[in-house]
């Protein structure tokens, strides 16, 4: 039977807003809480708070009661050891707080990212940033939208810039440092970023992009590319919940996403470190998430 994606979208949007209220409440609590309420996962920059867990519990239980036949993949459930492989069944894929570092610092680029995967492909996405009251939604084949804080619903992308961009040197590009701060990935990323930003007359391979940004949330990077505010987002090492909703929203806005098949194979390749300057092809919005 066909899934009624419109009604799933209505339900998940309402749920994302409830989650957003909890994220805002958590932000106030975290700002006044002792640092001990912030826990480290792999290392001192890979953070999780009690609110990541509480938001995921809320979302998982509400989705479970409304859609008992659907499966669920979530960042915190995965961390807690729930690692069932992805199947063809409808599967919600959720990052309760994407941008946990921003959340901890009160930097207002934080969201819940809620996606639905069917037959291993993302078909519906909801990204809600409660700090800015910005809601991004998309359904495969039906476009993607931004609902602003004053309730306007705008089709994405907002502006049409030349397609493809005449050159990388006219692009605003999002990159992320990620949480792996070992020498090898950090120096590979630094040199890639340096070539993107560098003046070609002085930096070999330099592209002198308009500039680079690090938003700190994979899902919001996708949303900003879909919006047209960023031309490109490149990151290595994303997880399915970071990108599931974003893939739908960005593709429906005309973006091109590469690498997502590997991500949705649910096994993350730890060592495939590409080079952004080589990865960028001709699409106007070229998002590489591997």
Which stretches of the chain bind ligand IPD, using CB under 6 A? 75, 95, 97-100, 176, 178, 216-218, 235, 237-239, 242
Cβ nearer to ligand IPD, comparing 63 with 110: 110
Cβ nearer to ligand IPD, comparing 165 with 216: 216
Q: How many CA atoms lie less than 13 Å away from 179 in the CB half-sphere?
A: 16
**Least Å from the CB of residue 221 to ligand IPD:** 7
Burial code (b: 16+ CB inside 10 Å, e: under 16) for 2-41 equals eeebeebbebbeebbebbbebbeebbeebeeeeeeebeee
Q: What residues act catalytically?
A: 75, 95, 97-98, 100, 242
Residue where the block lists tokens 């066909």: 2
**Least Å from the CB of residue 209 to ligand IPD:** 19
97 known member of a binding site: yes
98 known member of a binding site: yes
Pairing mode, strands 211-213 and 153-155: unpaired
Q: How many CA atoms lie less than 13 Å away from 259 in the CB half-sphere?
A: 24
242 known member of a binding site: yes
**Least Å from the CB of residue 40 to ligand IPD:** 12
Residue 255 in contact with residue 158, Cβ under 8 Å?
no
280 known member of a binding site: no
Cβ nearer to ligand IPD, comparing 237 with 255: 237
The two structure tokens encoding residue 26: 């958590």
Cβ nearer to ligand IPD, comparing 178 with 283: 178
Angle at 272 between CA 266 and CA 273, to 5 degrees: 125
**Least Å from the CB of residue 96 to ligand IPD:** 8
- Residue positions forming the annotated binding site for Mg(2+): 75, 95, 97-98, 242
Q: Indicate the annotated binding residues.
A: 75, 95, 97-98, 242
């Amino acid at each position: 039977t066909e899934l009624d994606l419109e009604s799933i979208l209505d339900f998940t949007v309402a749920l994302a807003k409830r989650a957003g209220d909890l994220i805002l409440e958590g932000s106030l609590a975290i700002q006044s809480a002792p640092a001990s309420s912030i826990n480290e996962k792999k290392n001192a920059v890979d953070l999780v708070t009690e609110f990541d867990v509480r938001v995921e519990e809320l979302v998982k239980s509400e989705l479970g009661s409304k859609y008992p036949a659907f499966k669920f993949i979530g960042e915190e459930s995965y961390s807690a050891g729930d690692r069932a492989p992805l199947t063809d069944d409808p599967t919600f894929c959720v990052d309760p707080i994407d941008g946990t570092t921003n959340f901890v610092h009160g930097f207002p680029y934080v969201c819940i990212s809620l996606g639905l995967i069917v037959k291993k492909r993302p078909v519906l996405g909801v990204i809600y940033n409660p700090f800015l009251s910005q809601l991004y939604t998309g359904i495969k084949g039906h476009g993607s939208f931004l609902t602003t804080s004053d309730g306007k619903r705008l089709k994405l992308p907002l502006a049409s810039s030349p397609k493809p961009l005449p050159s990388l040197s006219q692009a605003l590009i999002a990159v992320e440092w990620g949480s792996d701060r070992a020498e090898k990935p950090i120096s590979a990323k630094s040199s890639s970023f340096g070539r993107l930003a560098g003046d070609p007359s002085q930096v070999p391979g330099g592209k002198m992009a308009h500039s680079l940004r690090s938003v700190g949330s994979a899902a919001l990077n996708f949303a900003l590319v879909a919006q047209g505010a960023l031309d490109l987002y490149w990151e290595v090492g994303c997880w399915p919940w970071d990108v599931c909703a974003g893939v739908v929203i960005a593709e429906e806005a005309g973006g091109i996403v590469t690498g997502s098949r590997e991500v949705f194979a649910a096994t993350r390749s730890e060592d495939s470190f590409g080079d952004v300057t080589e990865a960028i092809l001709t699409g106007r919005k070229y998002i590489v998430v591997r």
